[in-house]
């Protein structure tokens, strides 16, 4: 019996350390959320989705246990957020605030897919805490490299260009699953068929919005080819965007593809 005592003690101590580390991680992100001023401005969260709402300091999301990733990530981007800070890239971490437990980064290893950010790290360089928070696994989705480094990255850079003049943007972004059964990893993370972004300019000046829907593949260079009205995007994703807007204004902004209001 004695020969089993030490192995059992080692296992128990290891489990104890793991649980304590998980507790500290969760407390860290809960404290960060409490201290942050940014989530107070999140007035336009989507409605009608089927997922767990998770609030972080610098973005919100709806986590799908079925697909082991976010249905959407929503965040505010202000001109003042733009920064050239060159922080050291951290390791990906399992999001401790997802009650059903977010999928591990290990699912992506040797899968052939990038760990594609939904809220880009490049939009959160204004502080180390904000930057690191984008490396939680609830904020990533399987993306082909040519897509992630191509048209997806191009739109992320275009949004930073837009916010320099528009001052204040609200962005909802996420994957789309259309009759797909393809998964990666032991936790069966679903590989999306499409990705989308919906962008709302609000605050001072005339409000405007635009949607983008991309097939999950290497894309064409012209972003205009992928822009659609918010109404059409909502029919594809199945839930309501920007519902907190005044109904008259919401109907006006969302029914048309307002390319002419944006500087391509």
pLDDT of 17 reads 45
pLDDT of 12 reads 52
pLDDT of 244 reads 86
- Residue whose structure tokens are 């404290």: 31
Quick check: 208 and 189 in contact, CB under 8 A?
Answer: no
Alpha-carbon radius of gyration of the chain: 20
- pTM, two decimals, is 0.85
Tell me the per-residue pLDDT of 81-120, one tens digit each, with 9 for 90 and over: 999 999 999 999 999 999 999 999 999 999 999 999 999 9
CA dist list (Å): 94 to 63, 91, 105, 189? 13, 10, 7, 14
- Residue whose structure tokens are 């936790």: 187
- CA terminus-to-terminus distance, the chain: 73
The tokens for 89 are 């890239």
CA distance 103 to 87: 25
* Domain range list for the chain: 1-35, 38-261
CA distance 107 to 24: 24
Please, what is the average pLDDT of the chain? 87
Quick check: 243 and 250 in contact, CB under 8 A?
Answer: yes
CA distance 116 to 137: 10
- Spatial CB neighbours of 60, under 8 Å, sequence gap ≥ 6: 39, 42, 45, 53, 54, 73, 74, 75
Exposed/middle/buried for 17, CB within 10 Å: 0-12, 13-18, 19+?
exposed
From the candidates 67, 117, 194, 216, give the one annotated as an active-site residue. Answer: 117
Give the closest residue to 102 by CA, choosing from 149, 58, 135. Answer: 135
pLDDT of 215 reads 97
Q: Which residues of the chain are under the pLDDT cut of 50? A: 14-29, 31-33, 39-40
Asked if 28 is an active-site residue, the reply is: no
Query: CATH number of the domain at 38-261, out of 3.30.565.10, 1.10.3720.10, 3.40.50.170, 3.40.570.10?
Result: 3.40.570.10
Give the closest residue to 72 by CA, choosing from 249, 234, 220. Answer: 234
């Amino acid at each position: 019996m004695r020969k089993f005592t030490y192995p059992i003690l080692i296992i128990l101590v290891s489990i104890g350390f793991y649980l304590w580390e998980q507790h500290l991680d969760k407390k860290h992100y809960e404290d960060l959320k409490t201290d942050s001023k940014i989530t107070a401005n999140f007035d336009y969260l989507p409605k009608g989705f089927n997922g767990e709402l998770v609030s972080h300091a610098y973005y919100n999301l709806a986590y799908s246990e079925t697909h082991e990733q976010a249905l959407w990530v929503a965040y505010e981007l202000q001109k003042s957020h733009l920064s050239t800070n060159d922080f050291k890239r951290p390791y990906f971490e399992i999001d401790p605030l997802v009650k059903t437990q977010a999928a591990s980064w290990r699912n992506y290893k040797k899968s052939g897919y990038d760990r594609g950010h939904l809220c880009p790290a490049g939009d959160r360089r204004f502080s180390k805490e904000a930057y690191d928070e984008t490396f939680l696994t609830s904020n990533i989705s399987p993306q082909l490299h040519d897509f992630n480094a191509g048209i997806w990255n191009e739109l992320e850079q275009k949004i930073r260009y837009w916010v320099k003049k528009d001052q204040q943007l609200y962005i909802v972004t996420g994957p789309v699953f259309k009759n797909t059964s393809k998964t990666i990893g032991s936790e069966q993370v679903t590989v999306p068929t499409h990705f989308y972004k919906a962008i709302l300019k609000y605050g001072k000046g005339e409000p405007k919005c635009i949607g983008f829907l991309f097939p999950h593949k290497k894309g064409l260079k012209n972003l205009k080819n992928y822009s659609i009205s918010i109404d059409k995007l909502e029919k594809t994703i199945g839930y309501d965007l920007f519902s907190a807007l005044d109904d008259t204004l919401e109907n006006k902004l969302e029914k048309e593809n307002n390319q002419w209001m944006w500087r391509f």
